[in-house]
Amino acid sequence: MKILTLVRHAKSSWKEAELTDRQRALNPRGERDAPEMGRRMADWGIRPSLILSSPAVRAWTTAKFIATAIGYPAEFLQREESLYLASLDDLLDIVTAQDIGFNSLMIVAHNPGLTDFANFLAPHLTDNLPTAGVVSVQIDREDWSLYGQPETELIVHDYPKLKH
């Protein structure tokens, strides 16, 4: 069994028009929501053996906040260039390429690819994975090859505005 957790980066700022899309930082709401979602993940027992993040500042910062909240060593966080604005096919390729020794993987990236991936893993789950939204599934496989619609069980679908 494998566990795959998808996290959309937290809310980003559009204040500094001179920044490129990759350079946009989190806004105050994002800086609040990312650690909160990390605390929720810790409560659910989500403990990935590998966290891969898009190199975009907003995604990388979200990944760092979550890593801190769940007790994941920040030095083990990995930037994955191909996660920046990755499509469903790109995401499938990235996950499939992971070592089978990792039993729990977290991906921190962007829409629309993450919403498409969430719906691939749990059909008809959501029209939109909100910023800082989390989807975690258990996959009935020994490896990370997800081509061909794997059997999955939804563990968590949560986002900041969903009150507990």
Domains of the chain: which residue ranges?
2-158
Spatial distance between the Cα atoms of 6 and 59, rounded to a whole number of angstroms? 12
pLDDT for 16 = 86
Global pTM reads 0.96
Which CATH fold topology does 2-158 show? Rossmann fold (3.40.50)
pLDDT for 3 = 97
Spatial distance between the Cα atoms of 9 and 25, rounded to a whole number of angstroms? 10
pLDDT for 147 = 86
- As beta bridge partners, residue 104 has 3
Spatial distance between the Cα atoms of 5 and 46, rounded to a whole number of angstroms? 8
Q: Which residues of the chain have pLDDT under 50?
A: none
Name which of 119, 124, 132 is nearest 158 in CA terms: 132
Half-sphere exposure in the Cβ direction for 85 (13 Å, CA): 2
